[in-house]
Structure 1
Amino acid sequence: MNNNILEIWSSIEQSSKVGLLKRLYTNDSELYIYAIFQNPEKYCGIALSFDKSIHIDVSPFSNLRDLQVTVNNDSSFSNNNLLVIKLMHYQSRDIFAVMCEDIVQHILSLHSEKQIVETIINQLEKWQALFDKLKGEGLTLPEQLGLYGELHFLQKLIAKQDFISALNSWVGIDKEVRDFQYNDWAVEIKTTASNNHQKVSINSERQLDETLLENLFLFHLSVEVAKKNGENLNTKVNTIRETLQSNISALNIFNNKLLEAGYFERHKHLYEEKCCQIRTENYYRIYGDFPRIKEKEIRNGVGDIKYSIILSQCSKYSIPEHIVFEKMTFHE
């Protein structure tokens, strides 16, 4: 990429011209992807030039509160249209910038204009959901603990694997069944901070079902939560960012996944006081008679399965950390 998109928006904003202004965002492909800025309204966004033969219906996005999506004639290329996505609230541009840079990273590897346009369209509802989270009151304490546990495991993983593969295996924020999964293995992360540190909640019949996997592990992180004593969520995030700073693609992926998890910079002050001190870390391999409910065991008509596991009864399934990471292969 030529520039950080925030810098391009800022540069275009300085122009005295009025209307929709665009500047080429990347030279890394044959695609014409633009950073755009509309004066004097201060709408910023991205645009993609594509062949007019490709039909796009943007009417489902006419009621988005934060984004405006239109298809216009491309004044630069007579045979092309321009897909324009504008952010209507300038104060949220830092969040939108991360989203834009992430989607551009993804589409650079695609070769079909139609596929690229569809990929961008598919992101729009997810983006609006993120803006809805942004207007909330930040993560609840259980959500903070859950994210802290996932980041703690991710920190271990990126120390042992290449950054991109490690980050791509973090799928819990995409509402997948388990928190980490890649090829034939998966890891579910459970973080507890209650008086009963050995009791964990399982959210579905598939979460601890290894039927379609070669290896399934449960990582249990037990912490004490104290006021300003230990490591808070912000510190954990910053430590991982420092590790990834040499790889801009990995850093973009990480920042975008943080947004999907509901972690926003403007809420950081809410996470300063609550700190975690790690009590214990334990891994369990899920197989055989490990106490859990499997999908094939559910009778017809039963749904929304949720249950608890007492980990003190699972000691024979305990497994050392180094064995877990040996079994987590990233081959294609």
Structure 2
Amino acid sequence: MTPDRLLEIWRQLGEETPSATGMHRLRLDTESPVDIFACIVWSGRRPGLLIEGAGEYRPAGDRIPVCRGVRTLHEVTRAPTPRTILRVLLEDDRLLEIFAVLSADLVEAVIAETTVAAGVRRCLDRLCMWQILFDRIPAEGLSEERQRGLFGELAVMDSLLLKILGSSAAVRSWVGPDPANQDFVHRGTAIEVKTTLAKRHARVMISNEKQLDERPHDALVLAHFRMDESASLGETLTSLVARLRARLAADPVSAREFDDRLTLAGYLDIHAQVYDRNKWLLSSTRFYRVQGDFPRLTEHNLPSGVGDIKYSIIADDLARYEATAEQVAGLLEGVDV
């Protein structure tokens, strides 16, 4: 089930004559043990999903995930036998396309399960993930700055991690979307990725006092990409995503996990037209070993009472800490050279 197909089903249901039940619905999978329908609720013509199954299933603590602009209703009917009903309805029309992605994800998650209990639990688990995402993802897509940041992270995976670690370990090492203090962590080595537009004295922005603190790791590397906007030679974020998906296609588990982490990072395919407006060319790639007197502020050297800081460092002043790609590869492989 694709988001576009769900949008079409909702459109068709919305064009029908309102029914006495207050709802039109269409079953989406005839073989799943869970009854799952696309629906239109006539009060406001709200699109949604209706997920039903025999038995009584409740989320832990009876807590139902609440997503921005989405209404989720859970009930258990008693007659003639217990039956669990979960309704997921869109309330903010501006989020329709993102809601279609959420709904398609829920459908795929539910129909993959073999019992009603597992299907309902899986649906609630995915809603918990989307609860976080709806607060992160703007309806219009990622800002240009966040696009560049994600482009840099994916460039590290494309050019370095997949080659060294293989698909499974490379994808699992991408912890930034969770979020974590660094973008990649593999065994004892962490990599923080920063991008700047190409110019002299590029300022690398550091978000907090933990980002360049190597103490939780055996080694910490700062990867810095200078990027030029280039309509002729550059690459879009969507084309880089497509290349990585192609490289991961032979490993379905890693491919699925990669897509989940893309979503956690705020990337949705429905925004591809927005992202295709920007093309970037990596004009330089530099790696720096963060250790010793590397210029940074951490919890270790902050004055007492100071926290929640943001600061910048000048990339051109880091030459004596520079490491080669081969040295970074060695660190990831457990060899400190």
* Aligned amino acid, residue 250 of structure 2: S
Greater Cα shift, 286-295 or 165-174: 165-174
CA drift of 1:243 comes to 1.8
Could you tell me how far apart the structure 1 residues matched to 2:292 and 2:80 are?
A: 62
Specify which of 151, 156, 167 is matched with residue 153 of structure 1.
156
Could you tell me how far apart the structure 2 residues matched to 1:158 and 1:286 are?
A: 23
* Aligned amino acid, residue 36 of structure 1: F
**What is the count of residue pairs matched by the alignment?**
316
CA drift of 1:173 comes to 2.5
What do the CA deviations read for 1:210-249 (whole angstroms, capped 9, x no partner)? 1111121111111222334322222212222222233444
C-alpha spacing 1:60/1:221, structure 2 compared with 1 (3 Å):
closer
SS of alignment partner, residue 298 of structure 1: coil
What do the CA deviations read for 1:3-25 (whole angstroms, capped 9, x no partner)? x4669969988999965555569
Residue aligning to 1:163: 167
Q: For the Cα contact (< 8 Å) 1:158–1:166, is it kept in 2? A: yes
Residue aligning to 1:275: 279
1:64-213 to 2 correspondences below 5 Å? 64-73=67-76, 78-79=81-82, 81-87=84-90, 91-92=97-98, 94-97=100-103, 99-100=105-106, 119-120=125-126, 122-130=128-136, 133-134=138-139, 136=140, 138-156=141-159, 157-196=161-200, 198-213=202-217
CA drift of 1:95 comes to 1.9
* Aligned amino acid, residue 151 of structure 1: L
Residue aligning to 2:260: 256
What do the CA deviations read for 1:70-129 (whole angstroms, capped 9, x no partner)? 212368994553444344666545422564378669999xx9999857634532421432
* Aligned amino acid, residue 139 of structure 1: L
What do the CA deviations read for 1:266-287 (whole angstroms, capped 9, x no partner)? 4333333432222221111212
TM-score by length of 1: 0.75
Percent same amino acid at aligned positions?
24
SS of alignment partner, residue 174 of structure 1: coil
SS of alignment partner, residue 246 of structure 2: helix
TM-score by length of 2: 0.74
Q: For the Cα contact (< 8 Å) 1:228–1:272, is it kept in 2? A: no
Residue aligning to 2:37: 36
Q: For the Cα contact (< 8 Å) 1:201–1:307, is it kept in 2? A: yes
Greater Cα shift, 240-249 or 152-161: 240-249
Q: For the Cα contact (< 8 Å) 2:29–2:36, is it kept in 1? A: yes
Could you tell me how far apart the structure 2 residues matched to 1:37 and 1:116 are?
A: 18
1:50-69 to 2 correspondences below 5 Å? 51-52=56-57, 56-58=61-63, 61=66, 64-69=67-72
SS of alignment partner, residue 255 of structure 2: helix
CA drift of 1:58 comes to 4.6
Q: For the Cα contact (< 8 Å) 2:56–2:76, is it kept in 1? A: no
Q: For the Cα contact (< 8 Å) 1:20–1:39, is it kept in 2? A: yes
Greater Cα shift, 261-270 or 206-215: 261-270
Greater Cα shift, 190-199 or 17-26: 17-26
Could you tell me how far apart the structure 2 residues matched to 1:87 and 1:281 are?
A: 43
SS of alignment partner, residue 172 of structure 1: coil
C-alpha spacing 1:237/1:300, structure 2 compared with 1 (3 Å):
same
C-alpha spacing 1:57/1:20, structure 2 compared with 1 (3 Å):
farther
CA drift of 1:150 comes to 1.0
Could you tell me how far apart the structure 2 residues matched to 1:194 and 1:182 are?
A: 29
What runs of 5+ residues in structure 2 fail to find an aligned partner?
A: none
* Aligned amino acid, residue 308 of structure 2: D
Q: For the Cα contact (< 8 Å) 2:6–2:104, is it kept in 1? A: no
What do the CA deviations read for 1:18-37 (whole angstroms, capped 9, x no partner)? 6555556987xxxx555432
What do the CA deviations read for 1:244-267 (whole angstroms, capped 9, x no partner)? 233444333333333333333343
Residue aligning to 1:224: 228
* Aligned amino acid, residue 100 of structure 1: L
Q: For the Cα contact (< 8 Å) 2:189–2:217, is it kept in 1? A: yes
Greater Cα shift, 195-204 or 16-25: 16-25
Could you tell me how far apart the structure 2 residues matched to 1:78 and 1:55 are?
A: 22
Could you tell me how far apart the structure 1 residues matched to 2:100 and 2:252 are?
A: 16
